[in-house]
Structure 1
Amino acid sequence: MLPDLLTPGLLAFALGVTVLAGVVKGAVGFAMPLIMISGMGILLDPKLVVAGIILPIVLSNLLQVARCGWAEAKAAVRDYKAYIIIVCVMILLSAQLVTVISDKVMYLVLGIPVTLLCAIQLAGLKLVIPEARRPLASVVAGLVSGLLGGLAGTWGPTTVLYLVAIETPKARQIVVQGVIYGLGAVMLLLGHMKSGVMNSETVWFSALLLVPAVAGMWLGFRIQDRIDQATFRKATLAVLLVAGLNLVRRGLMG
């Protein structure tokens, strides 16, 4: 199957998109799966793309957590366990729907919320959830994030919006994102092993993307240490907004 779907040109394109996704991931702590899906989805079959992102996002989040420290990771699991559990369970369940829904629906399911959330953040609207409502918010945000994660392979934008809305400190947000994305990625792997999206052929495509993902993250870590984080995050959101609009276009027009 893969030789028919992946010509040398398409493979080179996928590797290049993965490097870019790794750079952004290393710099701001999120957006790798979304960039990979929206980028590679321009030319590749969306279900192949979903399979391809799985191993890179597992490894990239292990690297992100390791860079922040395992003690911080344990504290993140303790403090955000309700959200993490809900996201993981929903990813495992909703991943089974990938093989029964159309490509257009998958594009719209991902593109519409991504476009809206990025536009909200770029517009400068600050969403703050009151302390008393945060337990309920964690349940709602976890359900939405997990559903998007299982269907489209990305739960980053909704997770970021949730963490910002509960006023998570910047340094803590990076490690929390790594933990949530890492554990979620393991659930995504298990879910798509069962759905058949990740199989003996597509796993090799995912494995090929590990090297450019790590290389991109290394560059991204260098950027994170040297430039203003807020400026780079705005640029990232702008890229995601364009990507989200492209996904909506593909969902509507094919």
Structure 2
Amino acid sequence: MDVLGLLADLPGATLVAATAIVLFAGFVKGAVGFAMPMIIISGLGSILPAETALAALILPTLVTNGRQALRGGWQGAWTAVKRYRLFLAALLVFLVGSAQLVGVIPSRALFLVIGVPLVIFAVLQLAGWVLRLDPRHRRRDEMLIGGFAGFMGGMSGIWGPPTVMYLAATDAPKSEAMRVQGVIYGIGSVALLAAHLRSGVLNAQTLPLSLAAIVPALAGMALGYVLHDRMPQATFRRAMLVVLAIAGLNLVRRGLMA
């Protein structure tokens, strides 16, 4: 068995481009707390098959989310788990279930299903619209948004946008938003790993590619943290939305041109 899997068959130029994409994705994640899977799936999806791009993001997503969740220590991470337990429960259930649809839904439709909501959400937020949840229905809203996030995540490895939308709706401060995203994405990453070991997306051929992607992801994340620590809250929020809009537009482009 070839221990390099797909890595042995990829041209050098493709490997260099893939490394740059993952490095940039890690940088953005370190700066704003999310968007690494979106950048990887949209970037690698431009040079690799969609399922290969999905497999590549699984392990670096798991590792970087763990690092982000624990940046403030174990106590902070556990507090976030307790506070957002309903969101997490719904996300996990729907993530595992929808992961089995990867081979059923065409890549073109998948890109559009993810990209269009991304663009709409980001543009509305940049235009000044802010979602506010009625405290009387917070439990219901947590489960609905968490379930939607999980449904998207199982099919694509992307569950950031609904999570960011929820954190914005609850007015989570910058430091808490970063920690909560790390916890939510980290737990979801474990489920994503298990789900796609079962679905066959992550296998002997794609595993080496995913392992190799961990190094540039962590390097980029370290650089991103430097920028994040210097950003004021307003700049942080706007950066998140710009990243969402760009990633969404690229996915829409892929969906229309596939």
Please report the TM-score for the alignment, with normalisation by the length of structure 2.
Answer: 0.94
In 2: Cα distance, 1:182 partner to 1:49 partner: 19
Residue 195 of structure 2 corresponds to which residue in structure 1?
Answer: 191
Q: CA deviation at 1:159?
A: 0.2
Computed over aligned residues only, the root mean square deviation of the Cα atoms, in angstroms, reads 1.5
1:97 partnered with 2:101 = yes
- 1:77-113 CA distances to partner (integer Å, 9 max, x unpaired)? 1111111011011111111100111110111111111
Residue 81 of structure 2 corresponds to which residue in structure 1?
Answer: 77
Give the direction of change, closer, same or farther, for the CA distance of 1:138–1:97 in structure 2 (3 Å limit): same
Range moving further from structure 2, 45-54 or 4-13: 4-13
Q: 2:242 aligns with which of 226, 238, 242?
A: 238
In 2: Cα distance, 1:97 partner to 1:34 partner: 19
The 8 Å contact of residues 26 and 224 in structure 2, kept in 1 or not, is answered as yes
SS in 2 for 1:67: coil
In 2: Cα distance, 1:144 partner to 1:52 partner: 23
Residue 49 of structure 1 corresponds to which residue in structure 2?
Answer: 53
Q: 1:221 aligns with which of 210, 215, 225?
A: 225
In 1: Cα distance, 2:236 partner to 2:17 partner: 24
Q: 1:166 aligns with which of 159, 167, 170?
A: 170
Residue 14 of structure 1 corresponds to which residue in structure 2?
Answer: 18
The 8 Å contact of residues 32 and 239 in structure 2, kept in 1 or not, is answered as no
In 2: Cα distance, 1:14 partner to 1:164 partner: 31
Residue 182 of structure 2 corresponds to which residue in structure 1?
Answer: 178
Whichever residue aligns with residue 121 of structure 1, its letter is Q
In 2: Cα distance, 1:227 partner to 1:11 partner: 32
The 8 Å contact of residues 110 and 247 in structure 1, kept in 2 or not, is answered as yes
Q: CA deviation at 1:6?
A: 2.2
In 1: Cα distance, 2:178 partner to 2:71 partner: 10
Q: CA deviation at 1:128?
A: 0.9
The 8 Å contact of residues 148 and 155 in structure 1, kept in 2 or not, is answered as yes
Residue 208 of structure 2 corresponds to which residue in structure 1?
Answer: 204
Q: CA deviation at 1:236?
A: 4.1
1:122 partnered with 2:126 = yes
Q: How many equivalent pairs are there? A: 254
In 1: Cα distance, 2:229 partner to 2:179 partner: 15
Percent identity (aligned)? 46
The 8 Å contact of residues 7 and 208 in structure 2, kept in 1 or not, is answered as no
- 1:124-161 CA distances to partner (integer Å, 9 max, x unpaired)? 21111111111110111011100100011110111010
In 2: Cα distance, 1:129 partner to 1:236 partner: 20
Q: CA deviation at 1:240?
A: 2.7
Q: CA deviation at 1:15?
A: 0.7
Q: 1:136 aligns with which of 127, 131, 140?
A: 140
Residue 25 of structure 1 corresponds to which residue in structure 2?
Answer: 29
In 1: Cα distance, 2:160 partner to 2:24 partner: 16
5+ unaligned residues in a row in structure 1: which ranges? none
In 2: Cα distance, 1:4 partner to 1:214 partner: 23
Q: CA deviation at 1:118?
A: 1.2
Whichever residue aligns with residue 108 of structure 2, its letter is K
Residue 59 of structure 1 corresponds to which residue in structure 2?
Answer: 63
5+ unaligned residues in a row in structure 2: which ranges? none
The 8 Å contact of residues 174 and 236 in structure 2, kept in 1 or not, is answered as no
The 8 Å contact of residues 92 and 191 in structure 2, kept in 1 or not, is answered as yes
Q: CA deviation at 1:28?
A: 1.1
